[in-house]
Amino acid sequence: GCTEVSCFQDAECIDAIAPEIGAKCPPCPTGYSGDGSKCADIDECANNTVNICEQKCINTQGSFMCACNSGFELNSDETTCRDIDECITNRHDCDHVCANVVGSFNCSCQYGFILQSDNRTCEVDPDRMCPINNDCEQLCALEITDNLGSGSGSVISKLVCSCLNGFTLDANMKTCTDIDECASKETTPCNQICTNIDGGFECSCMNGFELESDGFTCVDIQECLQPSVCNATQVCEDTPPGSFSCLCPPGSVMSKEGICVVPLVPVPSPSSSVTSFPSPSFVGITPSPSPILITDTERGNAVIVTLSGITLEEFTDERQEAFRNITAEAINSYCRNTPNECNVLSLTDDGSRKREIQQTFRQLFKRQNIAVVSTDDIVITSIENTNDGLRVTFFVRGVNGDVSGVISAEVVEEALQQAVDDGLYSTNGFTVVSVMLAFPPSPTPGDDDEGLFDNQFLIIVIGVTVGIFLLLVIIVVLVFCLAYRKHRKRVLKFVENDNVTIRNVAYIHGKP
């Protein structure tokens, strides 16, 4: 079956339908010949029936393309060629005068000048050299006339003025005026932007295009072939003409920070995670061969470092590598000196610290004394210009041995702040403005509040003690009163002749 068949360019194999056995490959693609399993390129240029190019044919894999000889260019049908008028389009280097010929051009000189051996430059004829002080603005030559017919045998000479290439002689036959080659499409070879200058012109391109080596033609920049266009989590896609898009891989969405993350629910449409840019006028993060998927734990332990004195364009791959090296060195130094402060968060749970991972992490420093953070563990997720400086967001992952996870953002922040104070960044050409957590924790009582809480606790204890004491006093008083009432009769009533007499009688030792 198909498990035993390998098709050309990994084409999908077709299993035979029972009762037949085996499998077969689809036909070779257009421009190739073979049995589908092995396909060879067809040289279309060697076949006069297929080769319809007027001048040159260039064979390519699976196809071909036409080209023209020097001095010609392809027509819109991309098969025939037309002559380039180098003189009208200013694609020549003649010193004085240009004359177009089929496939090329010829140079000549103004009156009184001689064409040099390079067939381009002109030098004045020594016999026709004008005085230094003459009325011609640019070029001057003497026109000599024999005056023998007058009977005097003398020679008459007069000044003949002319202009350099790119200028035209004015009506006064002395001064020259610049020709505006950009005035019309017929006189400029620039296919986008033409800027007129004295005696010539300059071509430039619109945003998203670049000028080819001929100095006239602009082509679309293939931004996605350049490094650092999108961040490491995104995929680049060209959107001609002159632009590109950074989008997230299927199954992920773009967060508000511009990072592609895997959501907890299915992604409804990739179009919701596209960020478009008008031009590639920046350098960012070098994309990985495959997109990096960032977990919630990694994202939640990101740190932001703000740098001054450097822009996004200046933060090249080399500068990024240096920054990551310094950052890794700072974390390793901090954790080596204070291993008990360095915690690793597991990637397998919701960010809770695992004691066994912490222990292993600390043992790497204490016993093996090795660096557990490498340059590759500093994962930069975004870089952007802000009013405060260049803002670099990253998290730190990975340790040596069997330990894997993310170093907590609090540890990274403390390590980097210590490195800044020690001058580690400044000595390596980085000015750090601030180091902060990308996602600060919820406010909790700080050290300054602990004394207040201790005093409050003491007051509560004293209050409870006093309350208990007062309660005991009240109980004792009540017991005493009840006992006193029981053992003392305070009122006796005597009834005599329907009159009531009240006497106080005290009992002493049980006797009235």
Rounded average pLDDT over 238-246: 80
Q: Residue 127 is inside which H or E element, if any? A: none
Would you put residue 313 in left (φ > 0), alpha (ψ -120 to 50) or beta?
A: alpha
Helical residues (DSSP H) of 135-188, grouped into ranges: none
Would you call 316 exposed, middle or buried from its count of C-beta atoms within 10 A (0-12, 13-18, 19+)?
middle
**pLDDT at residue number 233:** 82
| Amino acid letter, 317 | D
Q: What angle do CA 295, 296, 297 make, to 5 degrees?
A: 90
Radius of gyration over every alpha carbon of the chain, rounded to an integer in angstroms: 47
Residue 506 predicted with pLDDT over 50: no
In 10 A of CB 373, how many CB atoms?
25
Three-state SS sequence of 457-474: HHHHHHHHHHHHHHHHHH
Give helix then strand counts, H and E, for the chain. 5, 33
Q: What is the average pLDDT value for the chain, to the nearest integer?
A: 77
| pLDDT > 70? residue 348 | no
Write the pLDDT tens digit of every residue in 418-465: 999 999 998 888 999 999 998 887 655 544 444 445 567 788 888 889
> What's the pLDDT score for residue 266?
37
Buried-state track 77-95, b at ≥16 Cβ within 10 A, e below 16 = eeeebeebbbbebbbbebb
The pLDDT confidence band at residue 158, using thresholds 50, 70 and 90, is confident
46, 14 Cβ separation under 8 angstroms: no
Q: How far is CA 3 from CA 7, 18, 29, 34, in A?
A: 11, 16, 22, 20
Q: Chain-centre distance of CA 450, in angstroms?
A: 45
Q: Which two tokens stand for residue 280?
A: 């590639």
Query: Between 269 and 117, whose confidence is greater?
Result: 117
Which of 55-64, 272-281, 406-415 shows the lowest per-residue confidence on average (mean pLDDT)?
272-281
- For residue 326, which of 440, 438, 431 has the smallest C-alpha distance? 431
Joined tokens for residue 414: 């403390």
**DSSP-based three-state secondary structure for 139:** strand
Q: Which residues contact 85 (CB under 8 A, 6 or more apart)?
A: 100
Better-predicted residue by pLDDT, 506 or 469: 469
Could you please report the per-residue DSSP string of 273-312?
GEEEES------PPPPSSPPPBPHHHHHT-EEEEEES--T
| Strand 389-396 versus strand 303-308 pairing type | antiparallel
Q: What is the pLDDT of residue 354?
A: 39
- Tell me the C-alpha distance between 419 and 226, whole Å: 33
pLDDT, tens digit, 9 for 90 and up, residues 283-329 = 333 333 344 567 778 888 899 999 999 988 889 888 999 999 999 88
Q: How far apart are CA 361 and CA 404, in angstroms?
A: 9
Give 263's pLDDT tier (boundaries 50, 70, 90). Answer: low
Q: Which long-range contacts (CB under 8 A, 24 or more apart) does 153-161 make?
A: 159/130, 159/134, 159/135, 160/111, 160/112, 161/135, 161/136, 161/137
Element of type H or E holding 362: helix 355-363
Quote the pLDDT of residue 508. Answer: 43
Each residue's pLDDT tens digit, 361-393: 444 444 444 446 888 889 888 888 888 899 999
Token pair 């029972």 is found at: 18
Tell me what percent of the chain is helix, strand and coil, each rounded to the nearest 5.
25, 30, 45
pLDDT tens for residues 161-216?
999 888 999 999 999 999 888 887 776 778 889 999 888 888 999 988 888 877 88
